[in-house]
Structure formats: C-alpha cells, structure tokens
Structure 1
C-alpha cells in the first residue's frame, strides 16, 4: 500500500460518524431563518434516521440495503439525508432538483427506490406510472414533521466498505447511470478535500453546487469533517451569491466555470469578498483569462483548479501557488488518490507523452449500479505500476504529464457534453427530440461556448409531414428536458450525413458546425 501524509488518517468509519468529529463552536448548518449547531444537527439526523427505519424496516434485497431517493431543494432535509440514510442503513439516491419527471422516473425505476422524498411542487409533477411498484412519494415537510417525534437511532456499526449512496451521472450514450459509492469513498473524500484545502473549524462554505453532485455533497461533508459551517444556497442570479458571501462571511466558495464567469463580471461592493480564503473550481476547466480575473478580484483568496470524475470523486488539484505560472494545469493527485498516465501500449507514459488518465486508490467507486457491462468497461484492474493495486477507473480522458509531474488535459475520448458543469448524454437529448414526433433523426453535439463551456446543438431531420419549425420543437422539448439539457441552437437538414460504416456522421457534423461558428466570429 502507498503511504499518505501523517496528517491523514487512513481508517474510514461509517459515514454517519462524521458529525461526531465536529462538535465545534461554529454552527453546523445555516439555513434560511434558522441556525443549527452540531448538537442539534446530530439529533435531527438521528431522528430522521429513525423515521426512515420505521418506514422500511430491514427491507433488503439480498445483501443490498433499501434505497431512498430525494428530489428537493437545498433545505434541511436535503442536507441531513446523506447522513440520516447512512445511519438508518439505507442507500441514499440524491436526484438533481433540476431534473424533470421523465428523468426522475428512470432513476427511481433503475435504483429500485422504496421511498421518494421531495418538495410538494416537484412531487405534484409526477404522472401515473412514474413511481415504480412498491415506491412511495412523501413530501419533505411531512417527513420533517413526523421525524420530530421519532426515536433517535444511535451511531451505526456498518462496514465502511458497504454501499452508502448511488449518484446518477450521464455518459456519452444511454440514460444516466448510477455510480455506487461506499461509506469509505465518501469519508475519505471528505478527509482528502479538507486536508488539501486546509479547512478549519472557523471556515464557512457557501454551498451553491447541487447536492446531487459528488463535489456539491462533499462541501457538506468536508466542512463538517473539521467542525466548520455550511450555508446552502439555491440562487437565482449571481447577485444572490455576491450578497450571500458578504452576509455570511463565507470563506470557501466552489463554482462551475460559467458561474465564475458571471461572478467575475458582477459588481462586488467594497469588502464583499474580503472573507473569502479559497475559491475552488469544478465541472470544467478555467480559462487563462478567467484565472487572471479571479485572482485580481480576490487577491487574498487561494484559487484551486481541480479535475475529477464521479467514478472516483476527485483526482487532481493544482497548488494555488502555481496557478499564476501554470493556469492550464490540472495539478497532481489529491490525497488518497494515485494517478497514472497510461499510453496506448499499456505502459506508463513518459514526460510529455499523451495517455489515458487512470485513477487508483480508495476513492475509486464500486462500479455502476446493476450495469456489469459498463462497469467492466471503466472499472478494470489497476496497472502493474500502481502502488495501490485493486480496481482502477480508466477515465477515457487523455492527459499528459510534464517533467515536474503536473498534469494537463488533452481531450475527452467520448462524446459526452459538459455544459455549465452538467454532464449531458447526447443520446438522451436525441431520444427526447425523436419522441416529440416532429423529427425522424437527431444528433446532439456539444460545441465550444464562452459562458457554458459547451452549448448543446441539435441537428435534426424533420419527420414526414412535419414542418421545420424550431420554435415548436424547442417548446416541446422544454416540457420533457431540464433547462440545462435544452438545445441552444437547432439545425435542420433535409438529409443527415452518414459515415463510411453507415452511421450518422457525428464527427463530420461537429466539424461542420464548429467551422461555421468560427466563421461567424
């Protein structure tokens, strides 16, 4: 086994034990209208766990614990559920609040969830058949009210290697797949981030990332790991973020690049950002220009550029001291991670040689839920050069390492679209377009966009008897797809181009549209 810094513990515990570490003087959770200290938070988690246990008992299928899904805004329940589900022995399935009923129905059916807890307005959008047989939907206000009168469950004695959560993420093909995370994955992820960010009990995070994302949830866990505070925020405009930073004295702010662009353009009153100690990035690369603007706007804050994938949580970070001289680097491996660059011959790539990023170590997830085929594609035995051994995640991302050990992103092997920090399956957008009955063929592509990272472009051929009406198609798609999956531009073709093997020529269309964007500039 590889050795880690002596400051890091290498023995994870069940996830619900996380709060037993904190118990500091700072508030644990700052919600709209109430502040919850660690003692109260621990009590609420224990009672919510008691409510969950009372609902499902020991309804295991084989060795797999029952699943509970949440589809809610960033209120008390969404923040408590990761630890409450763990304490009750259930597996948490957080659903992105931006998703709509069709995506939610798929996740519920795929995960086999017995419970769906959500905001009443979201639950009201579900239609007949969306809830699988045996699954109940309960409004979050009812859950919290009933949990107040439930007996508290004591800390669990679960195996840290047992399943704790299933996070659904889209790939380049098919519907979202569930990444299986153990208690150890989440515990060591919190510990790793807390360590390399240098978090302390007097730190306060403004949680603007969705709690259904791995790093969004880690904002809770890493700050609670050190006894710090978390302020969840569902924002409407960048101005809401600016005001919250100033109001709550925020020290840690994590955003996706499009939001960083908006915050860099926003008007910050004098002193509004003075409390910020660290800025962290997720969901895409920072540009050289944006790095310069953020460093100028927040000169006292350390800027952390990072790279990660849900299948291994997070892989690398760049030392903030190097971001001025190496603004495009992904940095080096985070604690508890081992990163290898493997060339096409299956050997460790040399300095400057392009290869595939392979993530090894205890942060590697347990595979994809009920999907042995895709698990075998991405989760394979670690290369012989690995100090950890065991299973590794073969990312599909092409990188290179320089002579100083710094990594640089080269390209993505698959066609997955990453827009505004969201991973979008082209096939899911295409299926939704064809399901409208307005088009016969569809290809969804991600093209460079200065604000979104990539924008969704949809190339379609009209169905027989249908007009080429972008407005009607867009309006129909808005009923079935969340906002971040909506096409920015719809392109109509009388004939769709084919590749030599007879498939729709995605690469040719991408090159054609990219050239058109370049000419338009």
Structure 2
C-alpha cells in the first residue's frame, strides 16, 4: 500500500488505461471483456453518446440492472463530455420521472421492460428514451472510437441522486476529480492490485457501488458485477470467480454469515469492506469466524463527499464499533456547538473537508447552502466543507464513533430513505389524512420503516398503493392506524413521540 497516493486528479475515463491488454477487466454474464476490450468498448460507447448528444455537459441517464452498458457508462459518458445520471434499477416510474426531469437528462437508456412502465408525461419532450439492446447494437456499428479525453478534472462527471430527511431525491454533483480521487484513495488503503477480483453486488447508482468499479480498475484489477436474488448467489459467485474483494452493507453481511461457505469461496478472499451502516461487535466476530484470513475494513461515507473514514483492519478486534479515521484526501473535523473542534470524548458534528467534497446539489441552491458551508477555521484545506448532520465523538487515539443523526432520515438495508417520500405516497392514495414514516431499530435492516397513518381507508388498499408507487426497499414493515396524531408545540406531528412509542 502506498503511504502517499498521488493527489493529482485526471479525467475519469483514464481509468480505462491501467490494466494489461490480455488481463480480464469485466466479467459479464455472457462474456468477459479484457482490458483491451474495455478500452475499445468505452471509446465506442463514448463516440455513440457524443454523436447522439453533442452538447457538452448534457445529462444522460441509465436505468438498468448491472450490464456492459451500466458498468461502462461512468467512463464513456465522462469521455464524451457528458454527465452520467445512474438511476437505481429498483426505483419505480414516479421516482425515475422525477430524477430524469430534475436532471434535465437528454437521454434515458433503460431496459425495454422498464421503459414500458413509463406513462405519458413522465419524460419531457427533450428526453429521448432508448432501450438498452438498441444502444449496444448501435455501439457495435461504431467504427471510430473516442480517444482518452483531456477534460478539466473539475468539470462535472456525474449526478448521484440521494434522499434526505425531507423532499424528493437530490442530485449530488460529482466532478471528474471527486470520482478519480475517490478511486485512488480506496485502491490505496485497501491495497488493491492487478490480480484482484471484485464482486460488485451493490447498486451502481450508489457512490459505494460505483467505487467497486472505479477503485478496482484504478488498480488494474477485474470486476464481476452481480445482481443477486439470494445470499447463496453471492457465495456461488465468490467460488466461481475466485473473488478477492467483497463489499456489502450490514443487512447483507448478516445474511451471508448465516450461510455455509465452501472453502473455494473463502480461501481467495483478501478483504471485506462495509459501509451504509455500522457493524455490531457480534457481526464482526461472525465475519472473523467465516473469513479468518481476510482483512475487514469498516467504512463510513457520505454521497456528498464520497467516503470519509475507514478503520484499519488491525484495529477492528479492539475497536469493533469505531468508524476509524480519515481516508486519504479527506480531512475530518468534529465541530461542537460553539464552532470549535471538540475535545476527546465530546460530541459534535462530523464535518468533511478537502478535494472529495462534491460540488453541491444539482439545481438546488437552498439545500446546497444547508449542507455545503465554509470549512471551519481549523481546516487545513479551507474552502467548502460538507456539514454532515451526523453526531460523532473522537477518542484519545483519534478514532471516531457514530452517535446519531440530526435529521429524521431512515437508513434501511444500506438505503437512505426520505420519510417524506413515503408519506407523500400514502397521502396520494387518498386513503389517509395524515402520515408519518419512522425508522425503527431492526437487527437485520439497521432500521425498518414503520408508517403511522390517520384515516378511514383500508389497510390492503394502502398496501397496494404503496407497492405500486414505491420501490421494495421503501415499503413499510408495519402500518399503524391511529385516531389522532401526537403534535409538538408548533402544531406539527411529533415524530419524537412516535419514535418513542414505536420503540418502547
């Protein structure tokens, strides 16, 4: 592992240049792309995109499962001078219509089945929808490919849509530099190498999911994308491909440690990485038991700043609940209510400074101003910092520990869920008069969604409406019907009272 990775960013599409020509770069269901193939296909897809959307800086969206198209788009769109908008394939038409409309995407590239779910008016006249098969067929006809680009690394490369505690998903603006340095940083502290094989099980619409690709490719390694149905699918893929690197979120780890792992799936494993929620001490012990020779990397991240901290594997057994320390290129400060850096053991807000900080929220200056603020005076970087809203402490050894969130956002199975999105869907059903979505602690999910509603509608009708309008990970585990909602002194629904009642 390098002690000081190169801090100079390059255009994102240069990540296609690191591997040996004949080595595997991407293992798809029906084909294996060598590094030479990867370079050719990225160049041709970039040429196809540039011909279809010649305006530099225009947005192009993808809404599909893991495939050649979705894996190559981060590099190809960047090479074409476009801004990629990856959409979670689990989202339903209403969320997709919002993201496409909010981003002003000129293209929506999706599977035919997903496009068939869209209704009249979901897409603006300026957005062309093209089926994934047609895109790949068009790329096959391209003769001249685009060479590696020379874009300014500070230009935008992607919009990653993420939910907060209120409102609809907002697009985090990521530059070539943000994504390049994120790949360099993670490849460095994980010690990734050209002979590594990463099983990409996380959604490519997440920053953590995209980095599975980018950090592995920066090391010249190979990625095996997988859309799994059961934990056994993950285990079989690990054995089949000799996987050395596996990234997951706590709910998936819980399922995986409950399974029997054959020796050929365990032996090649070099490292396990976790984000999207804290590991418990019991889960750490279970992972240690399953993978005695693999290094375990607990991590903490923000889409607004990619990744903030990781815990050195040598410290995991001693400090199993710690978030660790800052990753390369990140400066992490804990700021108290008085605006100063806190003392050891004192709770404060985690503030992320440095070149991994995103460029704000797309077309949303109000919410940008709430989260992206001037760095604290103590910062060595200065400029703009991300004020996370997360409450943490730092111990005498400099290790960070998560305390809680300031807002009401729900974190379930690694997904950031806006309560307001669920509440709006419930109210839109016409079956309830008031609604409040609450995150309740859950051993497997981190938090489970509970929906408290007041109204005269029927439960099955509400369930059906929510299944129609919301993706699976937003579905309430339980719906509680009440005659009156508790109110706070401002006359608003008292979420703290509901939280206390549901967790009593």
TM normalised by structure 1 equals 0.95
Pick the aligned partner of 2:452 from 446, 459, 464: 459
Pick the aligned partner of 1:262 from 255, 265, 282: 255
Compared with structure 1, are the counterparts of its residues 348 and 7 closer, same or farther at alpha carbon in structure 2 (3 Å cutoff)? closer
SS where residue 166 of structure 1 aligns?
strand
SS where residue 105 of structure 2 aligns?
coil
In 2, distance between residues paired with 1:154 and 1:494? 64
Q: Is the 8 A contact 1:306 1:317 kept in 2?
A: yes
Q: Displacement, 1:502?
A: 0.5
SS where residue 154 of structure 2 aligns?
coil
SS where residue 498 of structure 2 aligns?
helix
**Residue equivalent to 1:19:** 16
Pick the aligned partner of 2:139 from 140, 147, 157: 147
Q: How does 1:486-501 map to 2 (within 5 A)?
A: 486-501=475-490
**Residue equivalent to 2:86:** 94
Q: Displacement, 1:274?
A: 1.2
**Residue equivalent to 1:518:** none
Are 1:79 and 2:71 an aligned pair? yes
**Residue equivalent to 1:105:** 97
- Unmatched runs of 5 consecutive residues or more in structure 1: 516-521
**Residue equivalent to 1:30:** 27
In 2, distance between residues paired with 1:160 and 1:241? 35
Q: Is the 8 A contact 1:24 1:201 kept in 2?
A: no
Q: Deviations over 1:45-90 (max 9, x none)?
A: 11001111111112x5xxxx10000001101000010000001000
Q: Displacement, 1:10?
A: 1.4
Pick the aligned partner of 1:370 from 359, 363, 376: 363
**Residue equivalent to 1:436:** 429
Q: How does 1:126-137 map to 2 (within 5 A)?
A: 126-137=118-129
Are 1:319 and 2:312 an aligned pair? yes
Q: Displacement, 1:24?
A: 5.6
**Residue equivalent to 1:333:** 326
Q: Which stretch has the larger CA shift, 148-157 or 236-245? A: 148-157
In 1, distance between residues paired with 2:250 and 2:210? 18
In 2, distance between residues paired with 1:189 and 1:158? 18
In 2, distance between residues paired with 1:196 and 1:423? 26
SS where residue 271 of structure 1 aligns?
helix
Q: How does 1:272-287 map to 2 (within 5 A)?
A: 272-287=265-280
Compared with structure 1, are the counterparts of its residues 349 and 18 closer, same or farther at alpha carbon in structure 2 (3 Å cutoff)? same
Q: Displacement, 1:171?
A: 0.1
Q: Displacement, 1:271?
A: 3.4
Q: Is the 8 A contact 1:24 1:228 kept in 2?
A: no
In 2, distance between residues paired with 1:141 and 1:379? 40
Q: How does 1:103-502 map to 2 (within 5 A)?
A: 103-150=95-142, 151-462=144-455, 466-467=456-457, 469-502=458-491
Are 1:51 and 2:43 an aligned pair? no
Q: Deviations over 1:217-240 (max 9, x none)?
A: 001000100100000000000000
SS where residue 310 of structure 1 aligns?
coil
Q: Which stretch has the larger CA shift, 137-146 or 267-276? A: 267-276
TM normalised by structure 2 equals 0.99
In 1, distance between residues paired with 2:23 and 2:266? 20
Are 1:512 and 2:501 an aligned pair? yes
Q: Displacement, 1:21?
A: 2.3
Question: Which aligned segments of 4 or more residues in structure 1 are displaced greater than 6 angstroms?
Answer: none
In 2, distance between residues paired with 1:497 and 1:290? 37
Q: Is the 8 A contact 1:203 1:229 kept in 2?
A: yes
In 1, distance between residues paired with 2:264 and 2:169? 42
Q: Is the 8 A contact 1:258 1:451 kept in 2?
A: yes
Q: Displacement, 1:5?
A: 6.7
Q: Is the 8 A contact 2:311 2:324 kept in 1?
A: yes
In 1, distance between residues paired with 2:345 and 2:398? 10
Q: Which stretch has the larger CA shift, 18-27 or 138-147? A: 18-27
In 1, distance between residues paired with 2:26 and 2:264? 24
Give RMSD over aligned pairs. 1.1
SS where residue 386 of structure 1 aligns?
coil
Q: Is the 8 A contact 1:257 1:421 kept in 2?
A: yes
In 2, distance between residues paired with 1:455 and 1:227? 39
Q: Displacement, 1:159?
A: 0.4
**Residue equivalent to 1:519:** none
Q: Is the 8 A contact 1:178 1:369 kept in 2?
A: yes
Q: Deviations over 1:259-314 (max 9, x none)?
A: 00000001212332111100000110111100000001100000100000000000
Q: Is the 8 A contact 2:21 2:36 kept in 1?
A: no
Q: Which stretch has the larger CA shift, 248-257 or 378-387? A: 378-387
SS where residue 263 of structure 2 aligns?
coil
